[in-house]
Amino acid sequence: MKIEVLEKNDINLHIVVRDADVPLMNALRRLALAEVPCMAIEEVVMIENSSILQDEIIAHRLGLTPLKTDLDAYNLPEACECKSEFGCAQCRVTLTLDAEAKDGTRTVYSGEIVSENPEIVPVSDKIPIIKLAKNQKLKLEAYARLGIGKTHAKWQPVSMCAYKYYPKITPPAEKCPDCSKCIDICPKKVLDIKDEKVEVRDLLACNLCMDCVDACPKKPAALAVEWEKNAFVMSIESTGALPPERVLKEATKLLAKQLNEFEEQIKAEPQ
């Protein structure tokens, strides 16, 4: 298998994977979405809430605030040695929020949440939690724990994880002087014209919609759009909880673990 990195930063990862197949790519995609753990607020103890929003709505908004995650320092609650419903220092982080609108209406942002662990904080300081009118107060204690997207979407470390076949476009071999229908119809502007010849401007933007082939007045069409069966373009967009390459790494680890368990269970069956 060969992997080529097209783009990599704190949030996005675009890679080309060659010599792979659909079941593998799809398994990795599903694991990244549903089983790679990340931190999210699970319980909120409301100390004072004189705002107009109910406690439950505030708790829901806090739960959906993505938190930076340190996977190496914390255990999943069910895997933690404490076996306690309440949790311990290895499986729970306490965060507090104490906000008051003293001088008039104001918005409380995620940046005001104080965490006991400076590594586990909201990924952005600018997420609005609530608007408080003058003299309204919000004081609470929240507990964040690791979880997986299968249980609740708040524990999904990625906002997007998708793959597509690697496109293969063969432009018309000869000049097509009278028509630029294939170029005009493409929503992704994949094709371009140069010296009266159609050429591929941005191959990876192609989503294989085939509009260009259908638009060609020649039958059969003068250009061909195909895809490579064993090559894929994968895009991962992290919520900021984990770096996208870490999400992919964890997904591969989980796949290996699940396959091992499968193998063990086959062995355990009587002959």
Binding site for Zn ion (CB under 5 A): 80, 82, 88, 90-91
Minimal distance, residue 80 CB to Zn ion, in Å? 3
Whether the CB-CB separation of 264 and 50 falls below 8 Å is answered with no
Minimal distance, residue 38 CB to Zn ion, in Å? 17
Minimal distance, residue 116 CB to Zn ion, in Å? 15
Strand runs labelled E in the chain:
2-8, 12-18, 38-49, 93-100, 106-109, 114-115, 128-132, 137-147, 158-170, 191-194, 197-200, 224-238
Parallel, antiparallel or unpaired: strands 93-100 and 137-147? antiparallel
Residue type, 44: V
Q: Which is nearer to Zn ion, 85 or 195 (CB)?
A: 85
Q: Which is nearer to Zn ion, 51 or 115 (CB)?
A: 115
Q: Which is nearer to Zn ion, 91 or 120 (CB)?
A: 91
Q: Which is nearer to Zn ion, 90 or 230 (CB)?
A: 90
Minimal distance, residue 26 CB to Zn ion, in Å? 33
DSSP summary character for residue 67: B
Q: Which is nearer to Zn ion, 80 or 216 (CB)?
A: 80
Q: Which of 61, 76, 48, 65 is nearest to 120 (CA)?
A: 65
Minimal distance, residue 146 CB to Zn ion, in Å? 10
Q: Which is nearer to Zn ion, 76 or 256 (CB)?
A: 76
C-alpha 254/C-alpha 262 separation (Å) is 12
Question: What's phi and psi for 265, nearest 5 deg?
Answer: -70, -35
Q: Which of 36, 145, 159, 53 is nearest to 99 (CA)?
A: 53
C-alpha 49/C-alpha 12 separation (Å) is 37
Q: Please report how many Cα atoms fall inside a 13 Å half-sphere around the Cα of residue 164, on the Cβ side.
A: 14
Minimal distance, residue 139 CB to Zn ion, in Å? 26
